[in-house]
Structure 1
Amino acid sequence: MNSRSWWLMISVGLGILLNPLNSSMVSVAIPRLQQVFQLDFTQVSWVIFSFYIASAVAQPVMGKASDLFGRRKIFLTGLCVAFAASFLAPLSPSFGWLIVFRIVQSIGTSMMVAVGMAIVRVHITEKQATALSVLSIFLSGAAAIGPFIGGVIIHWWDWHAIFFVNIPFVAVSFLMAWRTIPKDDPRAAIASNMSFRNWAQMIDVTGILLFTTGLVALLVGLLSAKSSGHISWLTVTVGLIGLIFIWAFVRHELQTTSPFIPLRTFAHYPAMTWVNIEFMLVNVLYYSVFFGLPSYLQMVRHVSEFQTGILMLTLGLCSLVVSPLAGRWIDQSGAGPALLVSAILMTLGSVWIVSLNQHSPVISVCVALAVFGISNGLNNVGMQAALFKSSPKEIIGVASGLFNTSRYLGTILSSLLIGIVMGGKFSFGGFRVLGLILTGVALSLVVMSLRRRRSGQMQE
């Protein structure tokens, strides 16, 4: 790759790291937010849910918007939105306002993640797995340093400061992106001149509203039932409303000419369907550990925020080291072997979590963090490479959006899983149950990886 490609990747990387940076910092802030706003674990989990629900909706929308209005324009706009949210969130007068600004922040960072991947796919045509591994370094690096930064900041300046740390990244990324990202195709101006009605129809506002309403209602119903300790008519009604809206969403997407999530596309490209399913399960595993272990360390083992941040470095640093090695391996051997090794490692890591007890040395938690960090480094590159192989170039914007939607659906499910298992209070017993569930999910990924390997051999 030439120097222009490297500078392009750096400018994109500084933008897309904002998403994992903000999700990782807040994982350490959960106990502090509980204390400040006087909320139980399930309620404060909405600071996670809101971010990822908004991301799940925004990713495919912004992927499609980039195809219509131009990738450079969407990327730069996302940086401006992220800047505004990062400045206003620390000034939140209540938890409700904090959720609002987290949603805005999620939308801004989502504009960069899906579009950033598409920019790399279109403008860097050689050694794409290597290019993806560079972006994974930014993603993994943000995940690595996020808990540590969050722990240090909360220890010295409280939770407000975890938002201000975004501002220098936004400023540098904006200046570099302005200079390095190629200008948009002039044909994008046609989409910019559309009427609001035509724009809304092309983006599929109806589908977005049905999807968002259904997902939020279903989550509220499930979490309310677990938090209250019993199932009431209200929680059942809310859950059923969610299911009805999701059913209406599926029906609408199959009938509309410009769907928010093109469900029929999955039927035409079954390999892409399996990639998205696997990626969703991978993120259920990874983020269950990512959000579960900090709470376990602080609430069960009574480890400080600062020490928790240092221990969580193991997860991100292992991912950071493995990502470039994974890029070279996948360039030579394809994604299959790396994804199989990753699935096996996640199975072993989940079993290790189950084996922990209340008297295990705290440092033993680093074993699980290291195993999941290595598997995450393999998955970050392997899953994206598998997507590129299974998706036609002409729909890469939508495909990248769908891929990242799978990421955030997996993250939402991980938060939901933790909320259901733990209820209002994080406990050691719940943590062990969580490990058993994760073992089952990891074994299913081993089966899927073996299936891909066999189907690849048959095609050869």
Structure 2
Amino acid sequence: MTGPAGHEDGTPPGEAGRFDRRLIAPLVLGSVLNPVNSSMLAVALIPIGRAFGAPPSQTAWLVSGLYLATAVGQPVIGRLVDLYGPRRLYLWGTALAGAAGLLGTLAPELWVLVVSRVLLGFGTSAAFPASMSLLRSEAGRTGGGSPAGILAALSAGNQVIAVVGPALGGLLIGAGGWQLIFAVNVPLSLACLVLGALWLPRTVPSGTGTRVDVPGMLLFAGALTSFMFFLMAPGVAHAYLVALGLAAGALFVRRELRTGEPFMDLRVLAGNAPLLLTYVRQCLAYCTAYAFFYGYGQWLQEARGLNASQAGLLLVPLSATAVAVTALTGRRGRIRGALVVGAAVQCAGCAVLLLLGDGSPLWLLVSLSALVGVPHGLIGLANQNALYVQADPARMGTSAGLLRTSMYVGALFAAAANAAFFHDGATSAGLHSLARLLLGVAAVFLLVCVADRTLGRDGGVGGPAPQKSGPGPAAQEGGGQRRRSARRRAR
């Protein structure tokens, strides 16, 4: 009997009606490549700057480069997953991550290290859309509903890495220098390649068409990159970036509405209001989450007077609570209830920030960190579950990539807010001003969750099993329009 990789018809082996659990290891391992590279670098910026004689303004590109590449790369690679199948893109992506890690290990100059981080961003962008696409096709094979337990495992795996990433980075740097946080990608990518080659099925892509819309991808990347560069340094002097982004965005829309096989089917996407709301929720939620995570961490050190190790320990309850909440609620597959509760607790956490001062007791700081972990464990998984049932199966990779892009756009909004309110240092007054803004953002997020009736009364994701016939009516209509256009061009 051949392994999953031996099947050409897209049907993995295993007993009919049962999820092939051998897929879990490569999917979870591949999905943590991105967060492990994000979190380990937090403790490496200072030693890297010393090694190359570079100021923080230059080493910051090591962070921004990964975020920019990931935000652009997720939907682009997701579309390639839709066209060519998840297995191929998963293997190519993890191979690129290993090569980028090796390049970073041997980097002779800082700019080479930045290139390594950009390549890491693109390479690690393949696993999540590939995983979501594979889970959808596997659910179609088994005739089941949402694999809530597997979706929860993906979310929990990312949260665990967020906890141990900085500590792992510190251990590696202590053992062999900052180069090891890049070198660790080599064995991780090799493990992904072996497991992926053994167990990932050669699924038949569910997407229609075979042409890659390269101009559309480039215009999308140009528009998004321009806006994200502006968010990294907002100001009148950089207003030209907004103009460039708007121009590229207008050309992108024009291109996608006229081409027969678009990178992003805007007509179908515009008609999917529930999915668009999921992207809005993801951006709002992670704007608050990232602003708290980095802003609170800076305040603990500069205003509260803790050292880096103590501040890191006070953030551990946040991630630990998030993992526990995901483990307890993940298998229930609820969406609306989890989002409303998560948004309400997020509002409460922002309100508590207003009570903090330079002499706040440790018990209050620990309690706040644990409290904020609750929405962190609920919201990300709920939006992931929502996307699973809302997205067109034929474009699951693209849709999953856009969910990650929404998250990183929120992260850049958060970075801009932190820079604005902590311009003169992470003071308690700056924290209170940041908290008032975040409370407003969290309140808008709560209103969006309460008002969104498209999630259903109970917010469950079980529902009917995914259909094997491919995309829904909207997608079929879009495909029919493209075929009619192609026939007219042929005549």
Alignment TM-score, normalising by the size of structure 2: 0.80
Q: Partners of 2:330 and 2:234 in 1: how far apart? A: 44
Q: Aligned AA for 2:372?
A: F
1:400 maps to which residue? 400
Query: Are 1:180 and 2:199 matched, yes or no?
Result: yes
Query: Of 6, 12, 26, which residue of structure 1 is paired with 2:41?
Result: 26
Q: Partners of 2:421 and 2:216 in 1: how far apart? A: 31
Q: Partners of 2:380 and 2:254 in 1: how far apart? A: 32
Is the contact between residue 42 and residue 419 of structure 1 (CA under 8 Å) also seen in structure 2?
no
Offset, 1:50: 1.8
Offset, 1:100: 1.2
Q: Tell me, which stretches of 5 or more residues in structure 1 are unaligned?
A: 192-201
In the superposition, relative to structure 1, how do residues 147 and 352 fare at CA in structure 2: closer, same or farther (>3 Å)? Answer: farther
Query: Of 106, 131, 138, which residue of structure 1 is paired with 2:150?
Result: 131
Q: Partners of 2:205 and 2:152 in 1: how far apart? A: 31
SS at match of 1:92: coil
Is the contact between residue 78 and residue 397 of structure 2 (CA under 8 Å) also seen in structure 1?
yes
Query: Are 1:409 and 2:424 matched, yes or no?
Result: no
In the superposition, relative to structure 1, how do residues 380 and 442 fare at CA in structure 2: closer, same or farther (>3 Å)? Answer: same
| RMSD across aligned positions (CA) | 3.1
Q: Partners of 2:410 and 2:113 in 1: how far apart? A: 23
1:12 maps to which residue? 27
Offset, 1:434: 2.2
Q: Which has the larger radius of gyration?
A: 2
2:377 maps to which residue? 377
Q: Tell me, which stretches of 5 or more residues in structure 2 are unaligned?
A: 1-13, 461-491
Is the contact between residue 75 and residue 402 of structure 2 (CA under 8 Å) also seen in structure 1?
yes
Q: Aligned AA for 1:345?
A: V
In the superposition, relative to structure 1, how do residues 186 and 325 fare at CA in structure 2: closer, same or farther (>3 Å)? Answer: closer
Any residues of structure 2 matched to 1:88-103 within 5 Å, and which? 88-103=103-118
Q: Which moved more, 1:353-362 or 1:59-68?
A: 353-362
Is the contact between residue 82 and residue 206 of structure 2 (CA under 8 Å) also seen in structure 1?
no
Any residues of structure 2 matched to 1:236-385 within 5 Å, and which? 236-301=239-304, 303-330=306-333, 334-361=334-361, 364-385=364-385
Offset, 1:401: 2.2
Is the contact between residue 281 and residue 441 of structure 1 (CA under 8 Å) also seen in structure 2?
yes
Query: Of 148, 151, 154, which residue of structure 1 is paired with 2:167?
Result: 148
Offset, 1:252: 3.0
Q: Partners of 1:350 and 1:90 in 2: how far apart? A: 40
Offset, 1:453: 4.8
In the superposition, relative to structure 1, how do residues 7 and 289 fare at CA in structure 2: closer, same or farther (>3 Å)? Answer: farther
CA offset digits 1:171-196 (Å, max 9, x no partner): 323222222111233999x95xxxxx
1:119 maps to which residue? 134
Q: Partners of 2:276 and 2:153 in 1: how far apart? A: 25
SS at match of 2:126: helix
Offset, 1:60: 1.3
Q: Which moved more, 1:382-391 or 1:91-100?
A: 91-100
Alignment TM-score, normalising by the size of structure 1: 0.85
Q: Aligned AA for 2:325?
A: V
Q: Aligned AA for 1:116?
A: S
In the superposition, relative to structure 1, how do residues 95 and 352 fare at CA in structure 2: closer, same or farther (>3 Å)? Answer: farther
Offset, 1:30: 4.5
CA offset digits 1:254-306 (Å, max 9, x no partner): 33333333332222211111111111211212222233333333444454444
Q: Aligned AA for 2:433?
A: V
CA offset digits 1:191-240 (Å, max 9, x no partner): 5xxxxxxxxxx3332233223333333444454456xxxx44xx333443
SS at match of 1:349: helix
Q: Partners of 1:34 and 1:354 in 2: how far apart? A: 34
Query: Are 1:206 and 2:206 matched, yes or no?
Result: no
Number of paired residues?
Answer: 440
Offset, 1:51: 1.3
1:162 maps to which residue? 181
Q: Which moved more, 1:440-449 or 1:386-395?
A: 386-395
In the superposition, relative to structure 1, how do residues 455 and 397 fare at CA in structure 2: closer, same or farther (>3 Å)? Answer: closer
Is the contact between residue 89 and residue 101 of structure 1 (CA under 8 Å) also seen in structure 2?
yes
Q: Aligned AA for 2:155?
A: S
Offset, 1:41: 5.5
Q: Aligned AA for 1:452?
A: D
Is the contact between residue 94 and residue 124 of structure 2 (CA under 8 Å) also seen in structure 1?
yes
Offset, 1:429: 3.8
SS at match of 2:124: helix
Q: Aligned AA for 1:53?
A: L
Is the contact between residue 72 and residue 224 of structure 2 (CA under 8 Å) also seen in structure 1?
no
Q: Aligned AA for 1:96?
A: W
Query: Of 69, 73, 77, which residue of structure 1 is paired with 2:84?
Result: 69
In the superposition, relative to structure 1, how do residues 244 and 4 fare at CA in structure 2: closer, same or farther (>3 Å)? Answer: closer
Offset, 1:361: 3.7
Is the contact between residue 42 and residue 423 of structure 1 (CA under 8 Å) also seen in structure 2?
no
- Point out the structure with the larger helix share: 1
Offset, 1:63: 1.4
1:441 maps to which residue? 441
Offset, 1:121: 1.9
Is the contact between residue 149 and residue 309 of structure 1 (CA under 8 Å) also seen in structure 2?
no
